Chain A
Amino acid sequence: MLDVVFLLHSFILGSLDHTTFLYFERRQKQCSVSLPTESMKAMAESVGVGQLQEESCAALSEEVSYRIKEIAQDALKFMRHGKRRKLTTNDIDNALKLKNVEPLYGFQSQEFIPFRFASGGGRELYFYEEKEVDLSDIINTPLPRVPLDVSLKAHWLSIEGVQPSIPENPPPAPKEQQKVESTEPLKVVKPGQEEEGTIQGKSQGATPADGKGKDKGLIRLKPRSTHELSVEQQLYYKEITEACVGSCEAKRAEALQSIATDPGLYQMLPRFSTFISEGVRVNVVQNNLALLIYLMRMVKALMDNPTLYLEKYLHELIPAVVTCIVSKQLCLRPDVDNHWALRDFAARLMAQSCKTFSTTTNNIQSRITKTFTKSWLDDKTQWTTRYGCIAGLAELGPDVIKTLILPRLTVEGARIKAVMEGPVVSNIDKIGADHVQSLLLKHCASVIAKIRPQPDNMEQYRTDYGYLGPMLCSHVMKARTQAALQAQQVNRTTLTITQPRPTLTVSQSGLSGSAGSRTPSIIKVPSSLTLMTPRPGTPSQPSPPATKYIVMATSAGASSTQQYEFTSVSFATSTLQPLVKLESGSGPGLTSSRPMQKYIVVSLPSSASSSLETKSSVLPTSISTTPLEAAMKLDRSESPGASTQSPH
């Protein structure tokens, strides 16, 4: 019996670690949660009690859970009085002290405690890895920097009721307020302004308006939202827009960075949005691919800015983006210029905005889907538009692919076949069909790999998907091996939570400029990547690499570092949160043997490799190279952080 009491105490202490609290915090909504009896057993073993009966475990777990909840509740009190939102380990210690229990030592408040997961012997455990520390290491390490002392700093939060715009104050209109202003325009917004009129309006607003127009109180006007720009803001706006569409790439990167991060752009948002929509309108007519790309990058930067409430301006932005996806012609020479990259990029933007802005009231996603499907189904649609529609749909996710694209594969395959194998109609059509084909293969393969059972039979595929069947089949097979490899990797690594890192998605997508591919498993057949070559008429030639990246891969466990050189690796702009993506499929022959863990990606200056090619080839005119470079940089702009990333 004494044992049990002792156990109880040690259990409470034993289970009072961070996870337990996370566990309880998370489950707070549910009323009765208790620790699993397995935990009791594990803890009993850890204090030397081998055989614990099931009933004792149950009784103990209930008691321990109750006590822990009690302590958690007390700890919350300390948190509140500490004027914090975060519960710390100190709060728990204090709560234990209240109960006259010795606090836990050694659980100093750490912002982040990485827990590890292990399973074995039919048990699953989460544990906090405590490494043995060599004392000499501690002695020899230099002392940490002394933290800065507390200090006081004063600033004006408000001057006679008006909040000054100084760096110490938050941006004038937080997102919520922007939202409130745009969605509930009838509310009284400004304090002290038109106080009487609005109150009158309010009190009378309760009774429904009886049609007396002359009564001023009855008319509720939407207050004009003014977007006056200060002189500084006007200058800023001018600089930014000029840099965004100017010729200096470094400046552009800076400007886009500013748009994506600056918290005070709210006032300028309507101007930016008009700038973009007008810009697209003009440049589509003029087929100025470079400018269109710049404008799309601006849209992306705006969308990346967390402080902006874009919903109000979607009516201008979405048409602009959609134009860049499906427009018949986006560049002067459709056979040479890589307008496909722009379409891909814009399609991703569209998908991102669907994800973030689509609601049940505005139905963006379904409206967009309808638009795409409609023009895709139209027989007269050009290949360029066709490509855009498919790309736009495919970016919306596997579900859309499954329901809208897969059923049409046969039809589309026949159409492609007609162009590819039929009488030569026009080169442009052929290129278009080729692109559509690779696009379809790329997006559909991974989806089919998931929904279709093994084995993959060429013939079966042909009957199911027609002309594209066989090619699809090989792609699916590749996708499967890829998935298997990844699964293997996941199995190997224990759950390690690391601090988020800037993302680098290494994916293979043929042209460095065409940031098209998101499914890295698929290695494109070089013959399909033709559009880079400046020589018209030889579409089947492999394209020269524009940028060279060296990917150094260290395989797990192997001491040797192999160096692979890839001629066409691009950095796909990813909308996802940063994470180093481990992609083992960078070369089927090279990597399938063992799973890789880390990559060092070094980007070589593009001139080094491309100079060879460009020498022999006719230099494209400036108008067509700029978009390419731009697109490259568009991708590269994300890479600096990543490319210098060390394996750790």
Chain B
Amino acid sequence: MAAVQGGLADTNEEKDIKTEPSSDGFGNNNANDGRVLSTSPGSSASDQQTLLAVLQFLRKNKLTESVEILRREAGLPEDSPELKGSDSSGAGSGGAAGSGDKEGGDASSLLSRTSSVTAAGEDQPDVNVVLSAYNQQGDPPLYQVYYSGLKKFIESVLDCHRAELSQLFYPLFVHMYLELVYNNHESEAKAFFEKFSGDQECYYEDDLRVLSSLSKREHMRGNETLMDFRTSKFVLRISRDSYQLLKRHLQERQNNQIWNIIQEHLYIDIFDGMPRSKGQIDAMSGSLAGEGKREANKAKVYYGLLKEPEIELPLDDEDEEAENEEGKPKKKKPKKDSMGSKSKKQDPNAPSQTRIPLPELKDSDKLDKIMYMKEATKRIRLGPDNLPSICFYSFLNAYQGLTAVDFTDDSSLIAGGFADSTVRVWSVTPKKLRKVKSAADLNLIDKESDDVLERIMDEKTASESKILYGHSGPVYGISFSPDRNYLLSSSEDGTVRLWSLQTFTCLVGYKGHNYPVWDTHFSPHGYYFVSGGHDRVARLWATDHYQPLRMFSGHLADVTCTRFHPNSNYVATGSSDRTIRLWDVLNGNCVRIFTGHKGPIHALAFSPNGKFLASGATDGRVLLWDIGHGLMIGELKGHTDTIYSLRFSRDGEILASGSMDNTVRLWDAMKAFDDLETDDFTAATGHVHLQDNSQELLLGTYMSKSTPVIHLHFTRRNLLLATGAYNP
């Protein structure tokens, strides 16, 4: 790869070039953390400094014990970098190998890392320090001159460079405005804003609105959006030629003001080759902090699927159990090959089976798998000529209160979360919902009988729906466990609750997010789940731990939706900062940053083969991503309002999207992905050139009467289920 990575600062100072890329290898893009962490492999000097600073801080706050401990630990020079850098230094394969050695027998390896991740994740820079960077600045009235000078320059350059250089407008505009505000030049700031805000791209409108309301230095304190803008460097991708042009211009003009801002607040990702076109840039821009750095998407992602555990259709329990015990995967392999039909070779892109310790399969799970396979044989092959039938479940009398819906994988249960804090579960099959008998009654049961599982159920409680009370705020996220025994719900009250679907009671309340939890999702293998909320952190939990195993921090705004990869090794999160991040569950690193949406992301879906990701946002567009290459590969336009649900058909041929605009749309996913493979892959540069073929890919639009579609689900036979609250 010929491209040379490096920020502005790096090109000036040769020696930094080496360190900069390494810092980008770490997923946690929180710039300040990144800076602290980045230097750890190179020199421990800065770590020493950090430690000293921490010591000083502790001492100042009279935390003597902590000081003692820290000093003791810091006394060992090898340990000190470990303190902060442990999680990030183990990026990629190293970490994987580490836990792989332990055979993943239990989750302890995951657990052990929690504290260190947390420490790094929550290390927020001090507000004053951050803001003080705005202090020493030039003459306020000249700002307009500087800006319009640059504008003139960019407008006069060759067409091929103009689009690239125009990317500079927005970040420069924001930083200059903030500088003016910070230095109390209120009227100048206002004038500056009025003069140039109209020039900015329309997709920054929301941010500009926030910006416009801010006119005083005091407002800057506590405004998260601004802090984000300030703490994270805005990332721009510019070709070398364009960059040289800009640099020459600024040096000629002695335009130090802009030069300073570029150096301090922007990260310019320089590449060699043709400058990108306006369309290419627009496709990728729109997020709160510019595009993802290319290095951020370089890490290897094992997007392949895990091997399905071998289960023979005529069930033989003893045999199977022995087979699936941990530590005997090698035995399984030869046997598998001999089995023929179902067995697949290990996908080269798949993570090792034990990369993440997964729960063992229980008998009931195997039964379910068998059911699944039986159903799968009856599955309808979908395609452009064979569209799925859609069954719409309308929630009546919900009075605008339906906030979340989920189906079980076998489509037997529907759960709804409501604004009145309740969670309701319906059975959509004739089988009614029953509770387990009380403890006293359970004692009377003959435990040896064959139908003990039937006997423990209390017939008297049978009903079509059950209501679960416990939350104290609207329920925004809901997710069934794959084995249908549990239900997760996340709420405005800051908790995630785990409900038993046997007793219909709350089992655990997971507290950790102090703010509303927008979404939660069970791992496809059970046991783990992920949650994300207003605190901008996504957390990985295991059902039997009341504290999170991982904290995924890096998003610059609310985490609005969370989704597990089909192989449970990765978690995708969408955010209000208009980016999607993919996190490695093993080490907590961010392995992919996808930018391109122009609004908060509200829906995510992995393709069944794990290779692709689809995302939907308030801008009404669906974007398709290739996880392996870290590229945007498609854009599906058609919806006119927020997309709340996305789902691939079971075989991945069709993508269904449901939106606030009362429609379900079906897209030809196969075609979208096929077109790409024939296309020559611009993986090296990461520059996508999307053709606008949404209309060709759109297979159908189905409008409901007045029901926003908030959830979609493909049954095992590829019948599409849609839900929403009828809104007369």
Contacts and interface: CB of A to CB of B under 8 A. Distances in A.
The answer on A and B forming one complex is yes
Contact of B210 (A73, A98, A152, A161): A73
Interface string A455-477: 00000000000000000000000
6 contacts: A28-B209, A62-B216, A82-B403, A151-B395, A160-B389, A161-B387
A129 interface: no
B474 to A, nearest CB: 6
B403 A81 contact: yes
Contacts of B419: 82, 90
Interface string A275-293: 0000000000000000000
Nearest to B473: A94
Contacts of A187: 695
A163 B666 CA distance: 13
B702 A157 contact: yes
A107 B216 CA distance: 31
Contacts, number: 162
A32 B213 contact: yes
Contacts of B682: none
A168 B664 CA distance: 15
Interface stretch (A191-199, A371-379, A389-397): A191-199
Contact of B428 (A81, A90, A152, A170): A152
B392 A155 contact: yes
Interface string B300-325: 00000000000000000000000000
Contact of B396 (A70, A81, A84, A150): A150
B91 interface: no
A88 B395 CA distance: 20
B387 A32 contact: no
A81 B702 contact: no
Interface in A51-102: 62-63, 65-66, 69-70, 73, 77-78, 80-86, 88, 90, 94, 98
Interface string A171-199: 00010000000000001100110010001
B95 interface: no
B402 interface: yes
A31 B702 contact: no
Given A195-B384, A199-B696, A80 B516 contact: no
A214 interface: no
A199 B396 CA distance: 41
Interface string A16-53: 00000000000010011000000000000000000000
A615 interface: no
Contact of B515 (A62, A82, A98, A202): A98
A158 B664 CA distance: 10
A202 B696 contact: yes
Contacts of A81: 403, 474, 476, 516, 518, 560
B181 to A, nearest CB: 12
Contacts of A159: 389
B625 interface: no
A224 interface: no
A151 B396 contact: yes
A376 B618 CA distance: 56
A156 interface: yes
A81 B193 CA distance: 31
Interface size class, chain B: 35 or more
Given A66-B215, A83-B644, A191-B387, A156 B392 contact: yes
Contacts of A63: 216
Interface string A616-644: 00000000000000000000000000000
Given A157-B391, A160-B389, A199-B696, A80 B618 contact: yes
B391 A156 contact: yes
Shortest 10 CB-CB contacts between residues of A and residues of B: A161-B387, A157-B392, A31-B212, A157-B390, A158-B390, A69-B213, A148-B397, A191-B700, A170-B705, A158-B702
Nearest to B418: A150
Interface in A118-171: 147-161, 163, 168-170
A80 B209 contact: no
B144 interface: no
Interface string B368-405: 00000000000000001111111111111111111100
Contacts of B296: none
B465 to A, nearest CB: 8
Contacts of A77: 534, 558, 576
B717 to A, nearest CB: 13
Contacts of A160: 386-389
A62 B402 contact: no
Nearest to B212: A31
Contacts of B384: 191-192, 195
B602 A80 contact: yes
A12 to B, nearest CB: 14
Most buried by B among A90, A149, A150, A188: A150
Contacts of B705: 168-170
A154 B391 CA distance: 7
B16 interface: no
Contacts of A174: 703
B395 A80 contact: no
Interface string B276-299: 000000000000000000000000
Contacts of A170: 703-705
Contacts of A156: 389-392
Given A148-B397, A159-B389, A192-B385, A31 B704 contact: no
Given A98-B534, A163-B702, A147 B397 contact: yes
A195 B700 CA distance: 12
Interface in B208-231: 208-210, 212-216, 219, 223
Nearest to B422: A150
Contact of A80 (B465, B642, B666): B642
A188 B642 CA distance: 25
Interface string B553-577: 0000010100000000000000010
Interface string B171-211: 00000000000000000001001100100000000001110
Nearest to B403: A82
Nearest to B400: A84
B361 interface: no
Contacts of A150: 395-398, 401-402, 416, 418, 424
Contacts of B516: 78, 81, 94, 98
A152 B414 contact: yes
A548 to B, nearest CB: 40
Contacts of A191: 384, 387, 666, 698-700
B478 interface: no
Contacts of B393: 152-154
B34 interface: no
A199 B681 CA distance: 24
Given A83-B402, A154-B392, A169 B704 contact: yes
A88 B705 CA distance: 23
Contact of A188 (B193, B426, B600, B695): B695
Interface string B619-659: 00000000000000000000001101000000000000000
Contacts of A195: 384-385
B24 interface: no
A389 to B, nearest CB: 44
Most buried by B among A158, A174, A199: A158
A152 B396 contact: yes
A152 B392 contact: no
B641 to A, nearest CB: 8
Interface string B594-621: 0000001010000000000000001000
A580 B84 CA distance: 74
B397 A151 contact: yes
Contacts of A69: 213
Contacts of B385: 192, 195
Most buried by A among B397, B618, B698, B702: B702
Given A65-B213, A69-B213, A192-B699, 7 more contacts: A31-B193, A62-B215, A81-B476, A83-B660, A152-B465, A154-B393, A192-B385
Interface in B507-539: 515-516, 518, 534
